[in-house]
Amino acid sequence: MKAQELRIGNYYIFADYEGIVCRKVIEIKHNEFGLIGDYDGVNFEICQPIPLTEEWLLNFGFVKLKREYDQSDNDMYIKNDLCIVWYNSENENFMQFFVNNTGINIKHVHQLQNLYYCLCGEELKIAER
């Protein structure tokens, strides 16, 4: 993962002495080692994106729609008139973000955060349940 893909507030995973942990970008800056950020000056070149899952969508406040008329294995999630369809196939699982009937493929949490911010002008926050 490259720092150019990230914005302050994005989530990523990182292996440290505690194991694999989820962290949030709080700063991006240059130093002699390249682009760094986070609490301890983590180099983003060794960080990993978080796979986008149903749990992340629900944590961000998306609502799963029950679609009784559709017999496909695809799930649909909605938030603020934005729709995400999770396509399940034998070969690959991926999500597609729909705005005005145009689909954009996304696979990682930071991609969803960035896309949502660009389209809605607000950050995705983990919703209280």
Do 60 and 41 have their domain in common? Answer: no
Do 58 and 25 have their domain in common? Answer: no
Asked, for residue 126, whether it belongs to a domain, the answer is no
Predicted TM-score (pTM) of the model is 0.69
> What pLDDT digit, counting tens, does each position of 27-39 carry?
776 654 444 555 5
Of 50, 52, 1, the C-alpha closest to 28 is: 1
Of 1, 10, 79, 46, the C-alpha closest to 95 is: 79
12, pLDDT greater than 80 = yes
Task: Report the C-alpha gap between 72 and 24 in whole angstroms.
Answer: 35
Q: What is the total count of domains within the chain?
A: 2
> What pLDDT digit, counting tens, does each position of 35-87 carry?
455 555 666 677 888 988 889 999 999 999 876 666 667 788 888 778 888 77
Do 35 and 63 have their domain in common? Answer: no
Separation of CA 126 from chain center: 11
